[in-house]
Amino acid sequence: MRLAVVGSGYVGLVAGACFAELGHDVVLVDNDPDKLAALQQGEVPIHEEFLPELFHRHHGKRLSFTDNTVDAVRASQAVFIAVGTPPMHSGEADLSYVESVARDIAGAIGDYKIVVDKSTVPVYTSEWVRKIMLLNGAPHGCFDVASNPEFLREGTAVTDFLYPDRIVIGADSERCIDLLREMYKPLIDGSYYDCPTAIPGPNGCKGPAPIIVTSARSAELIKHASNAFLAMKISFINAVANICEAVGADVEQVREGMGTDARIGRRFLYPGIGYGGSCFPKDVSAFHSVARECGYEFGLLDEVMRINDDQRQRFIRKVRTALWTLKGKHLGVLGLAFKDGTDDIRESPAIAIIQSLLAEGCRVTAYDPAAMDRAAEVLPSSTVKFAQSPYDVAKQTDAVLILTEWQEFKHLDLARMRESLRYPIVIDGRNLFRPEDMEKHGFIYLSIGRPDIVPQEELVKFRRAGQLLGK
Ligand code: UGA
């Protein structure tokens, strides 16, 4: 099948490359000339596992690039809208890019096509796209509009696409539903998974992918409700972690005890410094606005957002607890990306925490396996330096803060890190280490929702040195 994907951001790029992997001819459309030139030369602009592999496989064969929406639409049976829907001041999603693409598509419709929304959009967007297209000359009966939301996580987006928990097709016409089924056929009938060159699935997962057919409105709500629910799960466990701190319980034990209940589940129940990224903060707020617009006051989401913001402040208070005063302190930071496996720093809690610490007069030396170039664009070079390795971060700093859950940090040589640090203080915003290991290596270790580790000899030494430790 010939497909056009308009917008080559995260969603568009991954979806385009994966559809090519499923055997379709895909043209990706973008109006940013620099980005387009880079894509045409085969450069992959984002850090995403398996994406370079798919690019290499299909670039110039089943995957091409253009800035001409009209030509791309004319040549395709299905057009995916994958442009940005950034938040406005009000919290609502800005749909002006979607509208503008709908206008462009309308002018290029001749024979029957389907127009599929992949961007995260509020309920009724499919209907609006349809109206805009009709207003702009798209002939009646010559097109259908569908919603086919994506559930890709950055860092694992390719495997999320190829090994999905479900494929949601929200459409009101059989013809349109059939075309979308056809498009995903290798995943639905499982034939992709028998392919010798198939991208490996997570934990040996072999599909096939379940398909859920709904109305367009329901599909739009599925996307918003799913992201809001996952964000709620994270805020819930963060709130529980705060209670654990107050009573001296261990949130990891509580999480295990809760997560083994199949109705609750272990995933997305990791406490930390709050969720970030380009999706959860934006989508929770957009869903809140959608609800208000429909006459429902979704107060639960207010609380989800409040807990999330508060989690960063609580972390800064922990740093203060460990170091007493912040002005003039030199802090080592491990992790800048909003999560592991990506170089994306949008709405990263790590960046927000660093900015607050800089405002308090700290200096920072930071390391991240992927996000340092992007972070350098937003952090001041006068007070933030970047290190070549996690161990360099520890050198001569007053404490090490762990702000992203990169799995490689878990395997750090703790003895080596302990030796590099001026003071053996680690404040872990992602609970990457086992407190008993940190204790064995003589660290003062503060984490989220677990009792602080303060070895006796360090306590004595630090009290003598005038540092305030313990509460
Ligand atoms: C999220 C959803 O998980 C995807 O299903 C969805 O498709 C995507 O948004 C989107 O709407 O495009 P993503 O933002 O890439 O994906 O990242 P997540 O893995 O969901 O993590 C979001 C944030 O929550 C990160 O800051 C992460 O560190 C944090 N998190 C996640 C926790 O603090 N605890 C957890 O247990 C899980």
DSSP codes, 335-385:
--SSSTT----TT-HHHHHHHHHHHTT-EEEEE-SS-HHHHHTTS-TTTEE
The whole-angstrom separation of Cα 221 and Cα 120 is 10
The whole-angstrom separation of Cα 22 and Cα 158 is 12
Mean predicted confidence (pLDDT) in 121-127: 91
pLDDT at 248 over 90: yes
The whole-angstrom separation of Cα 367 and Cα 129 is 44
User: Would you say the CB of residue 390 lies under 6 angstroms from ligand 1?
Assistant: no
Mean predicted confidence (pLDDT) in 194-212: 86
Atom of ligand 1 nearest to the CA of 150: 7
Q: What is the pLDDT of residues 360-385, one digit of tens each?
A: 999 999 999 999 999 999 999 999 99
Across-strand partners of 145? 115
The Å distance, Cα 118 to ligand 1 centre, comes to: 17
Residue 465 confidence (pLDDT):
56
User: Would you say the CB of residue 338 lies under 6 angstroms from ligand 1?
Assistant: yes
Mean predicted confidence (pLDDT) in 202-208: 74
pLDDT classification of 468: cutoffs 50, 70, 90? very low
The whole-angstrom separation of Cα 29 and Cα 86 is 19
Residue 460 confidence (pLDDT):
58
Residue 395 confidence (pLDDT):
87
CB 407 within 8 A of CB 340: yes
DSSP SS3 for 166 = coil
User: Would you say the CB of residue 234 lies under 6 angstroms from ligand 1?
Assistant: yes
Residue 367's CB: how many other CB atoms inside 10 A? 24
What residue owns the CA closest to ligand 1's atom 18?
A: 153
pLDDT classification of 208: cutoffs 50, 70, 90? confident
Residue 368's CB: how many other CB atoms inside 10 A? 27
3-state helix, strand, coil in the chain (%, to 5): 45, 15, 40
pLDDT at 104 over 50: yes
User: Would you say the CB of residue 429 lies under 6 angstroms from ligand 1?
Assistant: no
**279 assigned to active site:** yes
The whole-angstrom separation of Cα 312 and Cα 234 is 13
Longest dimension (CA), the chain: 81
Contacts of 355 (CB under 8 A, 6+ apart): 379
Mean predicted confidence (pLDDT) in 159-168: 96
Contacts of 138 (CB under 8 A, 6+ apart): 105, 106, 107, 109
Residue 470 confidence (pLDDT):
44
CB 209 within 8 A of CB 184: yes
pLDDT at 251 over 90: yes
Residue 295's CB: how many other CB atoms inside 10 A? 6
| Token pair belonging to 79 | 């057009």
Contacts of 311 (CB under 8 A, 6+ apart): 235, 238, 272, 273, 274, 349
H or E, element range at 106: helix 96-106
Mean predicted confidence (pLDDT) in 25-39: 95
Percentage of residues in the chain with pLDDT exceeding 90?
89
Using only the alpha carbons of the chain, give its radius of gyration.
24
Mutation to probe ligand 1, out of 234, 278, 404 (largest number of atoms < 8 A from CB): 234
Burial class (CB in 10 A: 0-12, 13-18, 19+), 400: buried
Q: How many helices (H) and strands (E) does the chain have?
A: 20, 14
Q: What is the pLDDT of residues 165-198, one digit of tens each?
A: 999 999 999 999 999 999 999 999 999 999 999 9
pLDDT classification of 91: cutoffs 50, 70, 90? confident
Q: What is the pLDDT of residues 417-454, one digit of tens each?
A: 998 888 899 999 999 999 999 999 999 999 999 999 99
DSSP SS3 for 411 = coil
Residue 202 confidence (pLDDT):
86
| pLDDT mean across residues, the chain | 94
Residue 457 confidence (pLDDT):
66
| Token pair belonging to 190 | 């499982």
The Å distance, Cα 280 to ligand 1 centre, comes to: 7
| Token pair belonging to 335 | 């992790």
The whole-angstrom separation of Cα 441 and Cα 447 is 16
Mean predicted confidence (pLDDT) in 331-337: 98
User: Would you say the CB of residue 151 lies under 6 angstroms from ligand 1?
Assistant: yes
Which value, to the nearest 10 degrees, does the dihedral of the CA atoms of residues 24, 30, 33, 34 take?
Answer: -70
CB 438 within 8 A of CB 414: yes
Lowest mean per-residue pLDDT among 176-190, 199-213, 267-281, 314-328: 199-213
Closest of 449, 452, 153 to residue 311, by C-alpha = 449
pLDDT classification of 203: cutoffs 50, 70, 90? confident
DSSP SS3 for 428 = strand
CB 194 within 8 A of CB 166: no
Residue 206 confidence (pLDDT):
64
Residue 330 confidence (pLDDT):
95
**89 vs 3: which has the higher pLDDT:** 3
Mutation to probe ligand 1, out of 120, 121, 275 (largest number of atoms < 8 A from CB): 275
Mutation to probe ligand 1, out of 49, 153, 236, 347 (largest number of atoms < 8 A from CB): 153
Beta strands, E only, 2-156: 2-6, 25-29, 63-66, 78-81, 113-117, 143-147
Across-strand partners of 59? 63
The whole-angstrom separation of Cα 282 and Cα 451 is 33
Burial 98-109 (b: 16+ CB within 10 A, else e): bbebbbbbbebb
Residue 52 confidence (pLDDT):
96
The whole-angstrom separation of Cα 317 and Cα 303 is 20
User: Would you say the CB of residue 315 lies under 6 angstroms from ligand 1?
Assistant: no
